[in-house]
Amino acid sequence: MAKKESRDAARYGTRNGEIKFGHVHNDQVLSAFMARSGYDYRHYMTLEAEGKRAGTTVNRCPKVYEIKCGDDQKKGQGAFIVDVLNGDIILKARNGDIKLQARNIDILANENASGNDQGVVTIEGNEKIMMRTKNFEMNASSVAKFFSSGACELVAKSSMNFSAGLFAAVDNCCSGKNSKPSLWDTNVQSDNQLNTGTIQA
């Protein structure tokens, strides 16, 4: 297939770089504007006009892409803002890590959240999730759960306190009866209901 051309395309440049109006890429996508370095063809910026990337802005560089801002901003004021009206934000590091460094880091999942399927924060680690801090606090207004398909260990070198309005401990739950009855034992529940007269024998 012959390469599409822009009839009113214009190009201005030197050996150091160029700007083009109406550049057509190899995949037949038309850029309304392109600015490109003359030293590396992979170093460019485009404003896509037609085709599968219409309305897209592309920034491409073979090495470091750096944004430095906020010289005159005060602490607590926004300096670098990304506002996505629809769609997701995706950060990828194909052969590297993603690092967040700041005085404080807040992760909030409550903007426009409605229903139990929204306002969710998910963290998955293929091998391990490690957290190190001086104080660790977790607050759950409804339910807090810890599950492990293998071993689960709680270790405190100083002291360990358990406080609950109702407390039940169960062991040997995979092989037979519990060592002590709990409120979740269906047989115990039936016996209690029978004794209190809430069910008929």
Q: What is the pLDDT of residue 181?
A: 53
CB 43 within 8 A of CB 36: yes
Backbone angles phi, psi at 194, to 5 degrees: -65, -45
Q: What is the pLDDT of residue 51?
A: 80
CB 123 within 8 A of CB 109: no
CB 46 within 8 A of CB 57: yes
Backbone angles phi, psi at 185, to 5 degrees: -80, 120
Q: What is the pLDDT of residue 27?
A: 86
Rounded Cα distance, 143 and 53, in Å: 45
Q: What is the pLDDT of residue 4?
A: 67
Q: What is the pLDDT of residue 201?
A: 41
Rounded Cα distance, 122 and 90, in Å: 15
Segment 50-68 shows an average pLDDT of: 93
Residue 172: HSE in the Cβ half-sphere, 13 Å Cα cutoff: 7
CB 57 within 8 A of CB 47: yes
In DSSP notation, 6-30 reads -TT-EEEEETTEEEEESEE-TTSPE
Q: What is the pLDDT of residue 28?
A: 86
Q: What is the pLDDT of residue 94?
A: 94
In this prediction, residue 62 has a pLDDT band, given cuts at 50, 70 and 90, of very high
Sort residue 87 into left (φ over 0), alpha (ψ -120 to 50) or beta: left
Rounded Cα distance, 26 and 24, in Å: 7
Per residue in 122-174, pLDDT tens? 999 999 999 999 999 999 988 899 888 888 899 999 999 988 888 888 776 55
In this prediction, residue 119 has a pLDDT band, given cuts at 50, 70 and 90, of confident
Per residue in 171-186, pLDDT tens? 765 555 555 555 445 5
- Tokens representing 162 are 């358990």
- As a whole number, the mean pLDDT across the chain is 84
Neighbours of 191 (CB within 10 A): 12
pTM score > 0.85 for this model? no
Angle formed at CA 51 by CA 50 and CA 54, multiple of 5 degrees: 55
CB 60 within 8 A of CB 52: no
Rounded Cα distance, 112 and 122, in Å: 17
CB 146 within 8 A of CB 154: no
